[in-house]
């Protein structure tokens, strides 16, 4: 049975991904804890602390399929942690001689935290891989629509002309930065946890730091400067980054959803028969991918404060905040990956209606480039007067339903200073996209490097 839809066999098709569930689920957690126990035994065998034969026997039997999950659950319910039950079963499987060397000098949190780090390493690799693919798809879209002129909108109203390539580049730029942030963050997150009962490694009689170093090498993790049992900034940073990624994806999804409105209809999600349909309205093609980007992003954003609050750990072992992390980390990773995959679906198959963009660009009869006319008149009339004149001309054009150029041609102040050809040129939206091309090229150049 599942409670969270992201983990269910039916609704899980909409939330998260099978790959991330495999990386961050309970089965993976149990196996990763076993992996840490194996790595600890091998590290200590290399240092001559435990017999090499014991380490190899521990490694041979450390398989999640050998665990009695019912007994694990009973033990976990009794102690409050899964490690005691796990070590008990691992020791039994390894036999009396090898089993007595399991978990040597470690504490429960060492095993659990290091296991979560291993899971996060795999989760971050998945996120990075698909984020890179998403960025590549957006780059293709930005490049192919570099010159596709459309209406730029502020406060949901026509503002100035832009290009669709520029809009896509605005989506793409922060996502390129997200990959950079992820790469910069990983060394701060992918660190071994090994400190013993109170973080001091006192039980290993002066060999603790050597064991820590060898354990880190065995797991392919970094060695921290100090035990981080109650210093949770690494895990919190990872989930905060997921929140940032989801925020950037939300911008993309919100824009596409607005542009898919029937009255706008400039872009649409890729259509597959039956996708986005309605049980009662056969004509519907709803923005399903956009909706699930936003839904999953909001789920992640709700989990970020939980991780930040969990940084308030008490003394040398948290009593509650540490345990709260488990409720947030796996779901944040799963929902983020799900949001990325929905965004990939959009980016790789979005349908762009350039003709509709042109029609929408012209529905205000040239008023979308009123700023250009104002700036053309400003050297003659002064900026404030030019603004006043254009504001009045736009009011007349709106009230009478006339193109802006026609109104301007009948305004004595303007007609006396500009030829009709100049006015028509100034009111051509395609001639007023500013540095859209240059900005788009800058973003694409970042991705190329």
Structure-block tokens of residue 211: 């064991």
Beta strand spans in 47-121 (E) = none
Catalytic, out of 66, 144, 278, 383: 278
Structure-block tokens of residue 26: 């309970």
User: Distance between CA 352 and CA 22 in Å, rounded?
Assistant: 35
User: Distance between CA 171 and CA 251 in Å, rounded?
Assistant: 7
> Is 203 one of the annotated active-site residues of the chain?
no
Q: Which residues contact 208 (CB under 8 A, 6 or more apart)?
A: 105, 194, 196, 200, 201, 202
> Is 278 one of the annotated active-site residues of the chain?
yes
Backbone angle region of 265, left / alpha / beta, with phi > 0 → left and psi within -120 to 50 → alpha: left
Catalytic, out of 317, 356, 358, 402: 317
User: Distance between CA 136 and CA 142 in Å, rounded?
Assistant: 10
Q: Which residues of 96-130 are buried (b: 16+ CB within 10 A; e: fewer)?
A: eebbebbbbbbbbbbbbbbbbbbbbbbbbebbbeb
User: Distance between CA 231 and CA 240 in Å, rounded?
Assistant: 16
Structure-block tokens of residue 247: 């925020």
389 closest CA partner among 400, 375, 403, 368: 375
Name the residues annotated as catalytic.
278, 317
């Amino acid at each position: 049975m599942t409670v969270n839809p992201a983990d269910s066999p039916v609704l899980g098709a909409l939330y998260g991904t099978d790959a991330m569930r495999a990386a961050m689920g309970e089965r993976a957690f149990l196996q990763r804890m076993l992996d840490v126990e194996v790595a600890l035994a091998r590290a200590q065998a290399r240092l001559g602390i435990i017999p090499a034969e014991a380490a190899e026997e521990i490694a041979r039997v450390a398989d999640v399929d050998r665990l009695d999950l019912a007994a694990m659950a009973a033990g976990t319910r009794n102690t409050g942690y899964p490690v005691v039950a796990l070590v008990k079963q691992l020791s039994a499987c390894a036999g009396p001689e090898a089993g007595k060397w399991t978990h040597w000098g470690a504490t429960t949190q060492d095993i659990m935290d290091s296991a979560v780090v291993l899971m996060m390493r795999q989760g971050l690799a998945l996120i990075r891989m698909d984020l890179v693919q998403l960025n590549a798809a957006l780059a293709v879209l930005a490049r192919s629509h570099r010159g596709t002129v459309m209406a730029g909108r502020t406060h949901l109203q026509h503002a100035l002309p832009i290009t669709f390539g520029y809009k896509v580049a605005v989506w793409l730029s922060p996502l390129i930065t997200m990959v950079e942030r992820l790469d910069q963050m990983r060394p701060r997150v992918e660190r071994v946890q090994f400190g013993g009962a109170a973080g001091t490694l006192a039980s290993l009689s002066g060999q603790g730091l050597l064991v820590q170093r060898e354990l880190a090498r065995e797991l392919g993790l970094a060695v921290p400067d100090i035990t981080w049992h109650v210093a949770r900034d690494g895990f919190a940073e990872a989930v905060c980054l997921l929140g940032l990624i989801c925020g950037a994806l939300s911008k993309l999804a919100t824009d596409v959803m607005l542009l898919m409105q029937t009255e706008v209809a400039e872009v649409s999600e890729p259509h597959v028969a039956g996708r986005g349909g309605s049980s009662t309205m056969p004509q519907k093609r709803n923005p399903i991918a956009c909706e699930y980007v936003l839904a999953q992003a909001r789920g992640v954003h709700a989990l970020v404060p939980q991780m930040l609050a969990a940084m308030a750990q008490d003394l040398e072992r948290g009593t509650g905040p540490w345990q709260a992390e488990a409720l947030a980390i796996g779901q944040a990773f799963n929902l983020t990956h799900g949001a990325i995959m929905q965004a990939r679906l959009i980016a790789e198959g979005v349908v762009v209606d350039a003709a509709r963009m042109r029609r929408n660009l012209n529905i205000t009869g040239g008023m979308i480039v009123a700023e250009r006319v104002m700036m053309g008149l400003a050297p003659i009339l002064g900026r404030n007067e030019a603004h006043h004149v254009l504001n009045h001309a736009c009011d007349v054009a709106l009230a009478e339903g006339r193109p802006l150029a026609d109104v301007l041609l009948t305004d004595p102040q303007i007609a006396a200073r500009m030829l009709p050809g100049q006015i028509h040129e100034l009111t051509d939206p395609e001639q007023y996209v500013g540095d859209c091309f240059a900005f788009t090229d800058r973003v694409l150049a970042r991705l190329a490097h």
